[in-house]
Amino acid sequence: MAIKEQLSEIVGKDNVLDSPEVIQRYGADNSLEPARSFTCVVRPRTVTETQKVIQLANEAKFAVVLQSSGVHFNGGAVPKAGGVVLDLSRMSRITEIDEENKVAHLQIGATWEQLQPELEAKGFRSLIPLLPHASRSVLMDWLEKELPVVQNLEYAEPLLSLQIIWGTGELFVSGSASIHHFRNPGVPSDGIAPLGPGPMSFDTFLHGAQGTMGVVTWATAKFEPLPTLTKTFFIPTDRAEDAVEPIYKILRRRIGYECLVLNNINLATILAERWPEDFSNLRTILPPWTIILVVGALQRRPEERIAYEEEALRDIMASYFPGFQLLTSLPGTAGIERMMPEMLRKPWPKDKTYWKHANKGGCQDLMFMTTLDRVERFMPAVVEVASKYQYPANDIGCYIQPAQYGRACQVEFSFYYNPDDEADRERIRGLYVEAAAAVLEQGAYFNRPYPLVAGMVYRKHGDYASLLKRFKKHYDPNGILNPGNLCF
């Protein structure tokens, strides 16, 4: 029996797709990776169907590449070795919202546009990265190590227990959800602890390895109460490095909740309503860099909480940074102080062009981890490479996300381009690869080695790559999951 016929027996004929339009759509993403061809798309509805597809792949030795939503940005979901694309977007239920433990049990295909409104209706919000696409899988963003904009350590790692189908086809449940039978009435285990029997935290192990070591089908993720009251502050600076010491001073005093730094290009891109008029105007009048800090308070005495954090913030700025401005709004952005807290807890509106695609249609992000005091070393390196490729330095977007009260940060450079212009794509590809090599040489830590940069990262860290290969061989001995990738 042909492979497609066997797949049809598992998921139904209507859920095995192989039209040219489908192959074209699933064979590429919003990255610079070239489009690839493959056999068909398989769309299971249940964990059992997914497990059977992976078991069949082991028997028939064909590749399986996972896609969990309709939106991918970094090349990791492009099938490099043919085979089938396993589309898990039909597995999209939010099974339970546990208000007592503040965790949601959701399937891998559940998106931000599903989760956030359901939580808000109950007075809660999920941890969230900066303005994710509404159609992105919530669990995939956390598995891909996206950083939330919040600084609260209690919520820094949103994922808890997981269900995984390893590359062998074996089903596994991690953490406290693995004890007895998860969510059966009267059973004390509730899946809220990532460590179950033994010390292994599989939620961390699967970070970056979804679809290469195994397939996560559901997980529990933390959420928190909505704030009763918020107040937003802005600290403009001329250079990125000028933002470092204020952030250290502020976050070490545990002031604020959401905290991030945007340059004028990215902030103008986010705020622009009419293109290109608003964008052109905003990039001119906005400060070169802006620290955005949102102070929030819950139900107990919120006015007092806001007041004493503001007093401490103003004291820090007056004592240590008298030459800096502490603003409650920004020029040319009426109402931004009211909009920002709302924006930072929601995905990008689905009825608007995604903000990273609004400028030129495409965007390639170069992202890595470092510490705030090292940020200044990377700026000149990226600008130098950009100038070599005739990419103006003042067109580069940049976003700095402090993590764990400033102990580390993610730096993200955004190169905007026209995806329909092949010459522009090739220019950005060369710029991106060379800039990645430059920051790697300066000490950048690529915790997300996506395609195009993965090879140089693994060559630099050979012992780490060897260890990953050993794990890959153990959990996916036939190499059916996303061949050509160790992670992502």
In a domain, 452, yes or no: no
Helix residue spans in 154-255 (DSSP H): 202-205, 244-252
Which pLDDT belongs to residue 299? Answer: 87
Place of tokens 């899988």: 137
76 touches 207 (CB < 8 A):
no
Place of tokens 């160790």: 486
Q: Provide the CATH number for the domain around residue 134.
A: 3.30.465.10
> Which of 225, 254, 272 is the C-terminal boundary of a domain?
225
**What tokens does 368 get?**
């890595």
Residues in contact with 346: Cβ distance below 8 Å, sequence separation at least 6, in sequence order: 112, 116, 128, 131
Residues in contact with 354: Cβ distance below 8 Å, sequence separation at least 6, in sequence order: 133, 348
**How far does Cα 193 stand from its chain's mean position?**
22
In a domain, 12, yes or no: yes
**What tokens does 30 get?**
């919003």
130 touches 187 (CB < 8 A):
no
In a domain, 397, yes or no: yes
* pLDDT tens digits along 9-42: 999 999 999 999 999 999 999 999 999 999 999 9
Strand order in the sheet with 289-297: 229-237, 289-297, 258-263, 397-403, 408-417, 362-370
Q: Which residue range forms the structural domain that includes residue 54?
A: 3-87
Residue 183 pLDDT > 80, yes or no? no
Smallest Cα–Cα separation from 109: which of 127, 87, 130, 126? 87
In a domain, 450, yes or no: no
> Which of 29, 60, 87 is the C-terminal boundary of a domain?
87
Same domain, 78 and 104: no
Phi, psi (deg, nearest 5) at residue 233:
-125, 150
**What tokens does 443 get?**
């000490």
DSSP 121-167: TTTEEE---SS-BTTSBHHHHHHTTPPPSB--GGGSS-EEEEEEEET
* pLDDT tens digits along 64-96: 999 998 799 999 889 999 999 999 999 999 999
In a domain, 466, yes or no: no
Residue 390 pLDDT > 70, yes or no? yes
In a domain, 464, yes or no: no
Same domain, 113 and 196: yes
Place of tokens 């050979």: 462
Same domain, 166 and 31: no
For 406-432, b where at least 16 C-beta lie within 10 A, e where not — what string? bebbbbbbbbbbebeeeebbebbbebb
**Weakest-pLDDT range from 40-49, 101-110, 188-197, 305-314:** 188-197
Same domain, 345 and 233: yes
In a domain, 446, yes or no: no
Residue 416 φ/ψ region, left for φ over 0, alpha for ψ in the -120 to 50 degree band, beta for the rest: beta
Residue 352 pLDDT > 60, yes or no? yes
140 touches 182 (CB < 8 A):
no
Same domain, 314 and 435: yes
Residues in contact with 371: Cβ distance below 8 Å, sequence separation at least 6, in sequence order: 407, 408, 409
As a whole number, the mean pLDDT across the chain is: 93
Same domain, 56 and 133: no
Same domain, 220 and 289: no
**What tokens does 439 get?**
């920051």
* pLDDT tens digits along 184-194: 655 556 788 88
- 148: preceding bond cis by omega (within 30 degrees): no
Same domain, 163 and 311: no
* pLDDT tens digits along 262-301: 999 999 999 999 999 999 999 999 999 999 999 999 888 9
Smallest Cα–Cα separation from 218: which of 472, 10, 47, 44? 47
Distance CA 79, CA 35 (A): 8
Residue 326 φ/ψ region, left for φ over 0, alpha for ψ in the -120 to 50 degree band, beta for the rest: beta
Smallest Cα–Cα separation from 188: which of 200, 176, 201? 176
How many other CB atoms are there within 10 angstroms of residue 192's CB atom?
18
Q: Is the dihedral of CA 304, 309, 312, 317 positive or negative?
A: negative
According to DSSP, the β-strands at 397-403 and 408-417 are: antiparallel
Q: Provide the CATH number for the domain around residue 49.
A: 3.30.43.10
Smallest Cα–Cα separation from 346: which of 165, 138, 186? 138
Phi, psi (deg, nearest 5) at residue 219:
-155, 165
The full length of the chain comes to 488
Place of tokens 């179950």: 196
Same domain, 421 and 332: yes
> Which of 41, 67, 87 is the C-terminal boundary of a domain?
87
Same domain, 328 and 209: no
Prediction pTM value: 0.94
Q: How many domains does the chain divide into? A: 3
Q: Which amino acid is at 181?
A: H
Residues in contact with 18: Cβ distance below 8 Å, sequence separation at least 6, in sequence order: 4, 39, 40, 41
* pLDDT tens digits along 294-351: 999 988 899 999 999 999 999 999 999 999 999 999 988 989 999 999 999 999 999 9
Q: Is the dihedral of CA 190, 194, 200, 204 positive or negative?
A: positive
Same domain, 47 and 140: no
Q: Provide the CATH number for the domain around residue 294.
A: 3.40.462.10
Distance CA 371, CA 345 (A): 25
Distance CA 176, CA 187 (A): 11
Which pLDDT belongs to residue 381? Answer: 97
Distance CA 338, CA 135 (A): 25
Same domain, 83 and 151: no
44 touches 91 (CB < 8 A):
yes
